[in-house]
């Protein structure tokens, strides 16, 4: 292999979680300064800890889609596996590229990688340029009046709404010129990101289409339909009234800035406002991870390190497998396993159940979500688990314990959601569907679910679990004070 000589400037576009061509600031900046572009995706080996099995499944589809759309622009995506700090300087030397452009990632592992890559490139007289594109707002630009970091959502949201200076989306290029001779790369298939033995991804294939084109299509459908009733619709897990854009946003197949702009072109009805708030929550999560790099591993309030979590492997396994005996919890966990996704309302219910009723460390739940969700995002996942656990995000009162029975009755009134994912309860009457253990003696055998046989009895008494959680949180706070 000998270094190529080119007469014009070349730039590497390092794709990470901006797997799109529309409104891609790194690509745009590279095209402005260079005559030819080398698109690269580097998979760290081993993959970073936040790349779970479901994420790798999605990544395969998303990279395949990106290869196709780049090819349509005359470019080819170079896939490499290993240490970016070694591979990128090599590729830059090989292609005589003087710069590398990438989107900023808030995860600590990527920030460490960026530092090594920047140093290695700079030793060879080359530059790493990082661009904001994952979030609406630059996390360093949002400060409290006294220059501090926001710790509560509402003041943060007020601050960003007052600024509302998101950069305008940049256009999709018509053509992406590549060097005559491109460096070699791996084949996507050789990475073996898809499961084979066993192939657990059938439900994922049925539910999702990764890639920029599918992301844009879904966004269009959502913005014209469910977004208008999002305020109330988003709470009903039995209906398809959420955006389902989370995995597309996680991989940057969809530009959040373009989505934001599309949303604000419309008159602000309550549904659209609520959805805009969700996008600000997403930004807030990245902001928190940026300023608290140990968000995923340490409670924001240190006193909660002392919370006496139970080491309950059987309970954790029952929760993971959707066999807790609490219908809406099991429905949620099975939806997650089958489709790689769970409705947001139910995520709160299952998380609260694990952390409060079972008194199992939120980090165990967060790890399971990271492995099984197609939208697994370290920032959002860590923030939301800490919110449910009451360990630092905002001021969740410790007495707020979700009751899975009332949540089910309130938001899955007709039981459509539970029946879809816990089919063995199909024949139970609505009245006791969310709490089968309260059914009159004859009902369960008649409905084909004799107690504790096809469907388990509850692994914890809900009232007792709630009391135990209240007492535990109360004493943890009191000891700290």
Partner DNA sequence: TTTTGAGTTGTTCGA
Partner DNA sequence: GTCGAACAACTCAAA
421 binds DNA (CB under 7 A): no
115 binds DNA (CB under 7 A): no
Catalytic residue among 362, 368, 387, 473: 362
Residue 470 CA to residue 481 CA, distance in Å, equals 17
Smallest separation (angstroms) from DNA to the CB of 145: 4
Judged by CB under 7 A, the residue of 14, 137, 150, 385 near DNA is 150
For residue 289, count CB atoms less than 10 angstroms from its CB and return exposed for 0-12, middle for 13-18, buried for 19 or more.
buried
Spatial contact of 399 and 225, defined as CB atoms under 8 Å apart: no
Residue 148 CA to residue 402 CA, distance in Å, equals 32
Note if 45 is an active site residue.
Answer: no
Of 357-376, binders to DNA (CB under 7 A) are none
153 binds DNA (CB under 7 A): yes
Please say which residue, 113 or 383, places its beta carbon nearer to DNA: 383
Smallest separation (angstroms) from DNA to the CB of 271: 13
275 binds DNA (CB under 7 A): no
235 binds DNA (CB under 7 A): yes
Judged by CB under 7 A, the residue of 86, 396, 446, 472 near DNA is 396
Catalytic residue among 90, 281, 303, 424: 281
- 3-class SS of residue 207: helix
CB neighbour list of residue 166: distance below 8 Å, 6 or more residues apart: 136, 137, 257, 260, 261
Catalytic residue among 90, 172, 231, 278: 278
Radius of gyration of the chain, Cα coordinates, nearest whole angstrom? 24
196 binds DNA (CB under 7 A): no
How big is the chain, counted in residues? 481
Spatial contact of 298 and 382, defined as CB atoms under 8 Å apart: no
Site string for DNA, 299-338 (x = CB under 7 A): ----------------------------------------
CA 95 to chain centre: 34
For residue 463, count CB atoms less than 10 angstroms from its CB and return exposed for 0-12, middle for 13-18, buried for 19 or more.
exposed
Judged by CB under 7 A, the residue of 155, 225, 423, 452 near DNA is 155
Smallest separation (angstroms) from DNA to the CB of 347: 8
149 binds DNA (CB under 7 A): yes
Catalytic residue among 58, 251, 385, 473: 385
* Nearest alpha-carbon partner for 104 in 245, 289, 371: 289
Please say which residue, 6 or 396, places its beta carbon nearer to DNA: 396
151 binds DNA (CB under 7 A): yes
341: tokens are 């996704």
Count of residues near DNA by CB under 7 A: 42
Burial call 12-34: b when 16+ CB within 10 Å, e when fewer = bbbbbbbbbbbbbbbbbbbbeeb
Residues with a catalytic annotation lie at 278, 281, 309, 344, 362, 385
Which residues contact DNA (rule: CB under 7 A)? 144-146, 148-156, 158-159, 235, 277-278, 281, 344-345, 348, 384, 387, 394-403, 406-407, 410, 463, 466, 470, 474, 477, 481
């Amino acid at each position: 292999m000998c270094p190529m000589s080119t007469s014009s400037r070349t730039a590497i576009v390092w794709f990470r979680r901006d797997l799109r061509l529309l409104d891609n600031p790194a690509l745009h900046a590279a095209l402005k300064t260079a005559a030819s572009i080398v698109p690269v995706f580097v998979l760290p080996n081993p993959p970073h800890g936040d790349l779970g099995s479901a994420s790798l499944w999605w990544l395969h589809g998303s990279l395949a889609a990106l290869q196709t759309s780049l090819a349509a622009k005359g470019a080819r995506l170079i896939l490499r596996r290993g240490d970016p700090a070694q591979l990128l300087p090599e590729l830059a030397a090989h292609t005589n590229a003087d710069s590398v452009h990438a989107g900023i990632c808030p995860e600590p592992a990527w920030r460490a990688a960026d530092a090594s890559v920047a140093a290695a490139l700079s030793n060879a007289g080359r530059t790493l340029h990082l661009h904001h594109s994952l979030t609406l707002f630059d996390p360093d630009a949002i400060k409290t009046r006294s220059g501090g970091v926001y710790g509560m959502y509402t003041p943060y949201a007020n601050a960003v709404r007052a600024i509302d200076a998101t950069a305008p989306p940049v256009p999709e290029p018509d053509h992406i010129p590549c060097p005559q001779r491109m460096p070699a790369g791996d084949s996507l298939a050789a990475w073996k990101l898809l499961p084979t033995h066993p192939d657990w991804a059938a439900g994922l294939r049925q539910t999702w289409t990764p890639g920029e084109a599918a992301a844009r299509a879904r966004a269009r459908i959502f913005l014209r339909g469910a977004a208008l009733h999002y305020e109330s619709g988003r709470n009903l897990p039995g209906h398809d009234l959420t955006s389902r854009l989370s995995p597309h946003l996680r991989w940057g197949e969809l530009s959040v800035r373009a989505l934001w702009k599309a949303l604000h072109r419309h008159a602000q009805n309550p549904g659209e406002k609520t959805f805009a708030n969700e996008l600000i929550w997403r930004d807030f999560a990245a902001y928190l991870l940026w300023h608290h790099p140990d968000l995923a591993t340490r409670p924001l309030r240190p006193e909660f390190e002392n919370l006496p979590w139970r080491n309950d492997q059987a309970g954790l396994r029952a929760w993971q497998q959707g066999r807790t005996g609490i219908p809406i919890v099991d429905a949620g966990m099975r939806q997650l396993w089958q489709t790689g996704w769970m409705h947001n309302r139910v995520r709160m219910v299952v998380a609260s159940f694990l952390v409060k009723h079972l008194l199992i460390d939120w980090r165990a739940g967060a790890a399971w979500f990271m492995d099984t969700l197609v939208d697994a995002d370290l920032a959002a996942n860590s923030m939301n688990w800490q919110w449910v656990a009451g360990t630092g995000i905002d001021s969740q009162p410790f007495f707020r314990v979700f009751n899975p029975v009332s949540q089910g009755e309130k938001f899955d009134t007709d039981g459509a959601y539970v029946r879809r994912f816990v089919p063995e309860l199909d024949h139970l009457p609505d009245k006791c569907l969310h709490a089968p253990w309260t059914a009159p003696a004859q009902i369960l055998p008649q409905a084909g679910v004799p107690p504790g046989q096809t469907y388990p009895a509850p692994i914890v008494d809900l009232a007792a679990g709630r009391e135990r959680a209240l007492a535990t949180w109360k004493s943890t706070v009191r000891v700290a004070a």
